[in-house]
Amino acid sequence: MKTVLITGGSRGIGAACARLFAEKGWRVLVNYRNDDDAADALAGETGCELFKADVSDRDAVYAMRDEIERRGFMPDVLINNAGVALFGLFQYIEPEQADRMYGTNLFGTLNCTRAFLPSMVERKDGAVINLSSVWGEVGASCEVDYSTAKAAIVGFTKALAKEVGFSGVRVNCLSPGVIDTDMNASLTVADVEAIVDSIPLERLGLAEDVAKAAYFLASDEAAYITGAVLPVDGGWKG
């Protein structure tokens, strides 16, 4: 049985990934930061194993890795999904807000990959799937820091894929467009209508759409794909 670790997995895209991988017969490990109720509900639904840790805290990540090993697990696939939004004019963003966003979205990805990559390299098998965003490719006004962090994820993916390819480890990236999750709950009806009008497939994305793309990249069907940035945006970016 293959094992997947999904960070930020208690809701949204992470929870959709947990449900799909569990349905496909994988052992699912879910990391989450603070939503105990959502995590417990997901565990009851899917049978996933829960690991509570703030991925922005490197010591907490390594303690989580040790706990996973102690319980007899080690992920074949790591999905770096944990992320938070940050809206506002760049010059008015509070440093504490920016630190939290970069800590989770960028350094959380680095921390988790550093923790779990060595075992993949040692086994000469494994896959890392990072969550970027369409904004990491084209940028977004009033989301400058968020766009910067997500652009860094793209560069990280491409560079690491070249570094560990000889070890049989694949590293890929998903670039979702506007997905109908809590992160985009602040959008008004007018905002949503304007966005949908500009998407060729004429709808917002669903968390399940991203989960299906993640499952493909984790599967043997993607065995010759690494360093890729796969858009899941309904054709929005063009």
Lowest mean pLDDT across 171-175, 204-208, 234-238 = 234-238
pLDDT of residue 180: 85
Residue position matching structure tokens 């993640």:
214
Residues belonging to the active site: 146
Q: Does residue 238 carry a pLDDT above 70?
A: no
Q: What percent of the chain has pLDDT over 70?
A: 97
What is the arithmetic mean of pLDDT over 146-163? 98
Average pLDDT along the chain: 95
pLDDT of residue 192: 75
What is the total count of domains within the chain? 1
Considering the domain boundaries, does residue 137 fall inside one?
A: yes
Q: Does residue 154 carry a pLDDT above 90?
A: yes
Considering the domain boundaries, does residue 202 fall inside one?
A: no
Considering the domain boundaries, does residue 97 fall inside one?
A: yes
Lowest mean pLDDT across 19-28, 71-80, 90-99, 198-207 = 198-207
Task: Confirm if 82 and 61 have CB atoms less than 8 A apart.
Answer: no
Considering the domain boundaries, does residue 228 fall inside one?
A: yes
Confidence of residue 186 (pLDDT cuts 50, 70, 90): low
Instruction: Give CA 167 to chain center in angstroms.
Output: 23
Considering the domain boundaries, does residue 124 fall inside one?
A: yes
What is the arithmetic mean of pLDDT over 47-59? 98
Owning domain of residue 67: 3-178+207-232
> Residue 148 belongs to a domain with what CATH number?
3.40.50.720
Considering the domain boundaries, does residue 213 fall inside one?
A: yes
Measured between alpha carbons, how far is 67 from 73 in angstroms, rounded to an integer? 9
Considering the domain boundaries, does residue 199 fall inside one?
A: no
Q: Give the 3-state secondary structure of residue 106.
A: helix
Task: Confirm if 55 and 34 have CB atoms less than 8 A apart.
Answer: no
Considering the domain boundaries, does residue 192 fall inside one?
A: no
